[in-house]
Amino acid sequence: MKNMLVTGGCGFIGSNFIHYILSESGYKGRIINVDKLTYAGNPENLAGIDKKFPGRYCFVKADICDRQAMEMVFEKHQIDSVCHFAAESHVDRSIVEPDAFIKTNITGTFNLLELARSHKDKILLFHHISTDEVYGSISDGSCFTEDTPYHPNSPYSASKAASDHLVRAYGTTYGLPVTISNCSNNYGPYQFPEKLIPLIILNAFEEKALPVYGDGLNIRDWLYVTDHCKAIWLIMQNGKRGETYNIGGDCEMRNIDVVKMICDLIEKIMPRPNHPHLQELITFVKDRPGHDLRYAIDFSKLQTELGWVPAESFETGIKKTIKWYIDNKNWVDRVKSGKYMSWIKQQYDL
């Protein structure tokens, strides 16, 4: 792989992946980052990387739904591999604006697959990033495996399920070399503050209300983003073509416990004498429609076949995450000044 197309590389996981690939992975080729730059795509996430790695990083502003623009990228940069992150990803927004999710997550993925098929003689791998949400919700003590039937419960997860099926079909029907990974909830640096963890961290810094859906008892398996990036690269290098790999953090926690831990850690890192306890700011808000109760990933296939396990516990990862947001106040201020923050405030009735 000499010319890797990374879609959505200015987003949260995509930018972390590019940092990891160029700085730590041993990859010697070029990264061509294509991003539409929606509200969650921030070029500042990769500021200076072109100078740090001269000749090895190129940014192209384009929409994966624009077949002509993407054809030019494939031709001009002689793309030989694809790591596909680009997606609309926020469940709340999919409930009120599902059309964008259908267009980007399904049609956009279809466009990329068609282009990869038309350049099949050059394409060494098409890796598709997906989510554990395609499996639906778990009510018992089991975990999602790669053989768990799909049961998406939101427009977001349904659109990702559709894109997963397209990727698998192109591998089976056209012989395109594909791999798919389904990950649990990510957290870490550069995450846009619509998601639970950065929203809670940043609101706690400002002593604002800390919104928690319903009773806060929904359970998620948390995965530190750098662990995720390492797993993706391992799959891209050594995973069996045509296979799906689940990536989990081995870290199930109730949402309310996540919020309480963040409050406690912030108070240790940033003592607040004569201030109310941050947990007093927890505000329970109306649950969202179709809110899945529990996600849990069984990543034993990835561990057994490729030797991957997460390096970070939730406590070590969340400490790193809190410190990153403290150390990058300018990034936070610029992101929070965007118009999308008004939508977040409206959704959570803050």
Mind listing the domains of the chain with CATH numbers?
Answer: 3-192+222-250+295-313 (3.40.50.720)
Q: Which of 204, 334, 203, 210 is nearest to 269 (CA)?
A: 204
Please tell me the distance from the alpha carbon of residue 114 to that of residue 133, in angstroms, as a whole number: 25
Mean pLDDT to the nearest integer, 121-148? 94
Please tell me the distance from the alpha carbon of residue 204 to that of residue 201, in angstroms, as a whole number: 5
Residue 288: the pLDDT is 83
Provide the b/e sequence for 57-69 (b: ≥16 CB within 10 Å): bebbebbbbebeb
Mean pLDDT to the nearest integer, 259-280? 93
Active site residue ranges: 132-133, 156
pLDDT reading at 291 higher than 90: no
Please tell me the distance from the alpha carbon of residue 291 to that of residue 311, in angstroms, as a whole number: 29
**What CA–CA distances, in Å, run from 5 to 52, 61, 106, 176, 221?**
19, 13, 18, 16, 29
Please tell me the distance from the alpha carbon of residue 172 to that of residue 188, in angstroms, as a whole number: 35
User: pLDDT averaged over the chain?
Assistant: 94
Please tell me the distance from the alpha carbon of residue 64 to that of residue 109, in angstroms, as a whole number: 7
At residue 345 the predicted structure's pLDDT band, cuts being 50, 70 and 90, is low
Please tell me the distance from the alpha carbon of residue 298 to that of residue 112, in angstroms, as a whole number: 29
At residue 217 the predicted structure's pLDDT band, cuts being 50, 70 and 90, is very high
Mean pLDDT to the nearest integer, 49-65? 96
At residue 339 the predicted structure's pLDDT band, cuts being 50, 70 and 90, is low
Amino acid found at 32: I
Residue 296: the pLDDT is 93
pLDDT reading at 312 higher than 60: yes
Say whether pTM exceeds 0.85: yes
Residue with tokens 């965007």: 338
Residue 336: the pLDDT is 79
Mean pLDDT to the nearest integer, 149-154? 95
The residues near 220 (Cβ < 8 Å, ≥ 6 apart) are 184, 185, 252, 253, 255, 258, 294, 295
